[in-house]
Amino acid sequence: MKKTVILLAMTVLAIGVRAQERPTHEIHAAMLYNFIKYVQWPNEAEAGDFVVGVIGDEKVFNTLKQWYDGKPKGSKKYVIRMLGAPTEAGDCQVVYVGKSKNKDFESIKTSTTGKSVLTITDGNGLGQKGSCINFKVVDGKLKFELNQATVNSSNLKVSGQLSSMAIMI
């Protein structure tokens, strides 16, 4: 358990240190993948696909597709899908909302309400508006907010390790 905390902390710190060296879309893709490792879904043991939907950021989509599409996640396999409309978000386990689609967040939230979907956003104030995880730059470093109420209402469980590194809202 202690090793896991140290490993996660080192990963987040390394990403923060290299943030200026690596393109933002690669950092977001890597962090998204790491977030998934520390979240439990209610149907995790079932076979099938683990769908990560991306809306509003083609670079994040292409990076996730290249790095993770088809790889195993327990008894499931990752399927990375570019979403064409906010209504498609409810068919995913994870939805990443890029900056260009922040205006559609309310529609995405409506589509995912009552479903076990981890929403991850990159927009000012979207954590307070109901995103599970929201990227935020603080003092020039990439951090993330965690909305525990939204996570709970999505019937997801976030590990204490992830919560301890988040800005809780």
The more confident residue out of 83 and 9 is 83
pLDDT of 15 above 90:
no
| Nearest residue to 122 via CA among 44, 60, 34 | 60
Contact status, residue 149 vs residue 118, Cβ threshold 8 Å: no
What is the number of structural domains in the chain?
1
- DSSP letter at 115 equals S
| C-alpha span between 117 and 90 (Å, rounded) | 7
| Range of the structural domain that residue 159 is part of | 2-168
* The model scores a pTM over 0.85: yes
pLDDT in tens, 107-145: 999 999 999 999 999 999 999 999 999 999 999 899 999
Q: What does the pLDDT read at residue 46?
A: 83
pLDDT in tens, 24-49: 999 999 999 999 999 999 988 888 89
The more confident residue out of 75 and 7 is 75
CATH number of the domain to which 22 belongs:
3.40.50
* Residue 57, SS3 per DSSP: coil
Half-sphere exposure of 65 (CA within 13 A, CB side): 11
Q: Which residues of 54-72 are buried (b: 16+ CB within 10 A; e: fewer)?
A: bbbbeebbebbbeebeeee
